């Protein structure tokens, strides 16, 4: 870097530029990032965000798998399985009774309309 500055100083003297003008020219070059520099910076940021999303999705999938495993493990337990079956039985019985009552109402309405 020092050699570069010496060369720039010599070049400035040869072209008649002052050191202030050379410094301004250098700052302008560093302030204006090129198209590719900006594009690569954007791609880097995008890749970081995508990596975070991928990590979150992976963690969610892992937790869902663990939850499914725990549910299946719990179903193997006879007491839990019996309780789940009882709940299903109660639900199905309630639905069947509701259908029977609806059918009975239709029968009564049909008989009264004769």
C-alpha separations of 28 from 11, 20, 73 in Å: 18, 12, 66
34: three-class secondary structure by DSSP: coil
Q: Compute the average pLDDT of residues 13-32.
A: 58
Q: Is 76 helix (H, G, I), strand (E, B) or coil?
A: helix
Q: What is the 3-state secondary structure (H, E, C) of 27-47?
A: HHHHHCCCHHHHHHHHHHHHH
CA distance 110 to 114: 7
Arithmetic mean of pLDDT over the chain: 84
Higher pLDDT: 15 or 104? It is 104
Stretch 82-99: mean pLDDT, rounded? 94
Q: Does residue 29 surpass a pLDDT of 80?
A: no
Which residues, in sequence order, are CB contacts of 74 under 8 Å at separation 6+? 80
To which residue do tokens 């999705």 refer?
Answer: 57
């Amino acid at each position: 870097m020092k050699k570069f500055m010496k060369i720039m100083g010599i070049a400035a003297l040869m072209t008649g530029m002052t050191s202030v003008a050379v410094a301004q020219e250098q700052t302008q070059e560093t302030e204006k990032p090129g198209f590719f520099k900006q594009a690569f910076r954007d791609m880097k940021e995008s890749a970081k965000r995508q990596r975070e999303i991928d990590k979150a999705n992976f963690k969610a999938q892992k937790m869902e798998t663990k939850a499914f495993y725990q549910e299946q493990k719990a179903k193997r337990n006879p007491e839990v399985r019996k309780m789940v079956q009882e709940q299903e039985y109660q639900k199905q019985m309630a639905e069947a009774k509701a259908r029977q009552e609806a059918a009975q109402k239709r029968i009564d309405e049909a008989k009264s309309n004769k």
